[in-house]
Structure 1
Amino acid sequence: MSGDSDLIKLYSARILELAADIPHHTRLEAPAVTVKKRSPLCGSTVTVDLTLEGGKVSAFGQDVKACALGQAAASVVGGAIMGCTPAQILQARDELKTMLKEDGPAPAAPFDGLQVLRPAVAYKNRHASILLTLDAASEAVSQLAQTQSA
């Protein structure tokens, strides 16, 4: 019985609301970089299109094919990423990993909305899906940094 109650907490109304309303949920026509990530455990995929101008995210698009938790994470990231620096994105990814894997604090603003996913800490099989959008965005900004410094 407590397993059912834990699942109900995991799929809270807020997580389902976020999953149903993902910002920047369409691909960009001419992104500077595109990165697709897949979770081998569950098959969730996220494709991120990203452009930087002046060292900040100026355009962002995403195609999310994931569980409600992965969709909720994509929703929070999509709502927070515009205007962020690559350092903020990399920091958010690392902080989300720490929150999920070590029960650490939630990511700092502007990604603090990822706190809603704290109930997923106990569900290790969901972590990869939750991390997909930030993993893809982190790889995208890292690729852009390499091409701009080359």
Structure 2
Amino acid sequence: MSLDLYTPDISALAIGNPYPERLSDAHGSAERRSPICGSRVTVDVRLGEDGRVAALGTQVRACLLGQASSTLLARHAIGRSVEELAATRDALTQWLAGAGEVPSWPGIDIFTPGLKLTARHPSIRLAFEAAVEAAEQARAARTG
């Protein structure tokens, strides 16, 4: 495993999650786990009247990469639509697989050193996958 991925910037990002607690009144909630390292990320979402993320909560029991990715998600998820979250998740998956450009999510390029470390990709994707699932649940609960 390359130590180039575990930079001081990633370490600092990992401890900066602005929403480190679960939401008690979430409209949707999802947990994702990495089969490789056992990392686990839970994301709770509450949508506003406009269908965009109004509140976010997380519980992160993850490796450094999972923590850093969760922080990036949390810092920029408020105000995003379900479609924007899904597009970012898909772009992140493609980029990590070498089939796309760097996603437009702020700061996501911090994971560039991990592109060749495919075993670490699931940890980087966890928070975004959980957020999309939670947001889709929240939207379904509002319309159902």
Q: Which residue is equivalent to 1:135?
A: 129
Superposition pairs of residues 57-96 of structure 1, within 5 angstroms: 57-96=53-92
Larger RCO of the pair (alpha carbons < 8 Å, separation 6+): 2
Displacement over 6 Å in runs of 4+: none
For 1:27-46, list aligned pairs within 5 A.
Answer: 27-46=22-41
1:126 to 103, 120, 123: 120
Match of 1:98 among 85, 94, 105: 94
> How far does the alpha carbon of each residue in 1:85-141 deviate from its partner, in whole angstroms, 9 at most, with x for none?
111100110111111112532211xx2311101111111111111111000011112
Write the distance in 2 (CA, Å) between the matches of 1:15 and 1:103. 23
RMSD (Å), alpha carbons:
1.4
Report if the CA contact (8 A) 1:48-1:63 is conserved: yes
For residues 142 and 50 of structure 1, the distance between their equivalents in structure 2, rounded to whole angstroms, comes to 9
Q: 1:80 corresponds to which letter in structure 2?
A: H
Give 3-state SS (helix, strand or coil) of 1:102's partner: coil
Unaligned runs of 5+ in 1: none
Q: What is the one-letter code of the residue matched to 1:42?
A: C
Conserved? CA contact 1:52–1:58, under 8 Å: yes
Deviates more, 1:75-84 or 1:97-106: 97-106
TM-score, scaled relative to structure 1: 0.89
Aligned length: 143
1:43-97 CA deviation, whole Å, 9 max, x = no partner? 0000111010111100100011111111111111110001111111001101111
Q: Within 2, Cα distance between the matches of 1:25 and 1:103?
A: 32
| In 2, Cα distance between equivalents of 1:30 and 1:144 | 11
Identity of aligned residues (%): 34
Structure having the higher helix fraction is: 1
